[in-house]
Amino acid sequence: MEIDLKHLEEEPLKLHEQLTVPVSRLDPAIVGTPMTVDVDLTVRTGHPGYVVEGSMSVEGRLICGRCLGLVPWSVHERFHVHLEDGAMAPEEEEHRLSGDDLDVVFLETGCETVDLLDIVTQQVGLALPIRVLCREDCAGLCPVCGANRNIPGACHCVREPDPRWQPLAKLKPRSS
C-alpha cells in the first residue's frame, strides 16, 4: 500500500491495515512462513520530513536453529520512524551512527509516496530474535543421518565412541 505524503500537510493520516510480509523480504534462515502483521499507525509531517508512529502485532512461524522445526512466534511492538528526503542523507563516507540515526529512513529525493509494506518489513525485521529454539533442551539433528533427535526413535545411528577418550578406557577403577 502506497502512502501519498503530499496530502499530509492538511492533516495526519491514520491507518489500520493487515499486511503479509513474505519470507523473501525477511531473513529466510530464521523465518519459516510469511508474517501476518496488524498495524495501526499515524503518519504526520515533522520537521524535517515526516513521522510514522504506531504499533504492530506480528504472527508467524520461525525456524528452530537446532532441529529446523517450525516454532510459533508473535510479538506486539510500538515503533517510531522519521522519513526524510534523500538529499539530507549523509555522504557515503563512514561515520559513527547515533541511536537517533537508527529511526531514520531516507526517501529518494523528491519522492512523494512511501510503501507501507517497506516500513512494516523493516520493523518486523528489527523485532525478530537473533536465535530461535523450539525449546531450551532441543536435541537438534543427528549429525550422521539428519533425523530430528527430539522425536523418540527417529535416529537409529550407532554412535562410535570418540577416539580421544580411548586412553581413559584402559584405566581400571580403583577398588575401595
What are the structural domain ranges in the chain?
A: 2-127
Q: Among 7-11, 79-83, 140-144, which stretch is predicted with the lowest mean pLDDT? A: 7-11
Upper half-sphere CA count for residue 59 (Cβ side, 13 Å): 3
Q: In the predicted model, what is the mean pLDDT of residues 97-119? A: 69
Examine the pLDDT at 77 and tell me if it is beyond 80. yes
Supply the pLDDT for residue 142: 92
Contact 113, 43 (CB under 8 A): no
Task: Write down the pTM of the prediction.
Answer: 0.77
Supply the pLDDT for residue 92: 65
Rg of the chain, C-alpha, whole Å: 25
